[in-house]
Amino acid sequence: GESVGLHLPTLSVQEGDNSIINCAYSNSASDYFIWYKQESGKGPQFIIDIRSNMDKRQGQRVTVLLNKTVKHLSLQIAATQPGDSAVYFCAENIRGGGSYIPTFGRGTSLIVHP
């Protein structure tokens, strides 16, 4: 998994498997979290978000889990497909100056083998 501050890890999975990407965030005051997907040569793309008053949120084939006690976030991708191959970033957001100021993790590279 990744942590805000560590080198880019890589997760390799077979097509059809479930993938779990982890993220440790640093600031206990963070109250909004987002997962982004970034394909090669493109900008990050929103996947799913979660607020600190929740511990789980589901989207289409994706689930985000939040454990505030240990400051840990995970992204679960069901039935991973080759098109899911990308770098995945978590971002923790702290409200400041009237806006959310995000801090991004360095990302996890997901490689899906057909």
How far apart CA 102 and CA 100 sit, in angstroms, is 6
Please provide residue 84's backbone torsions phi and psi, each rounded to the nearest 5 degrees: -85, -10
Q: What are the two backbone dihedrals, phi and then psi, of residue 111, each rounded to the nearest 5 degrees? A: -115, 120
> Smallest gap, in angstroms, from Cβ of residue 73 to other proteins?
15
Q: What's the token pair of residue 84?
A: 């899911």
To the nearest whole angstrom, how small is the minimum distance from the Cβ of residue 82 to other proteins?
A: 22
Q: How far is the CB of 108 from other proteins (least distance, A)?
A: 11
Burial 36-45 (b: 16+ CB within 10 A, else e): bbeeeeeebe
Return the number of the residue (41 or 83) whose C-beta is nearest other proteins: 41
Q: Report residue 107 as tokens.
A: 């990302």
Q: Could you list the residues that contact other proteins (CB under 8 A)?
A: 4, 7-8, 32, 34, 36, 41-46, 49, 89, 91, 95, 97-107
Q: How far is the CB of 67 from other proteins (least distance, A)?
A: 21
Q: Which is nearer to other proteins, 14 or 45 (CB)?
A: 45
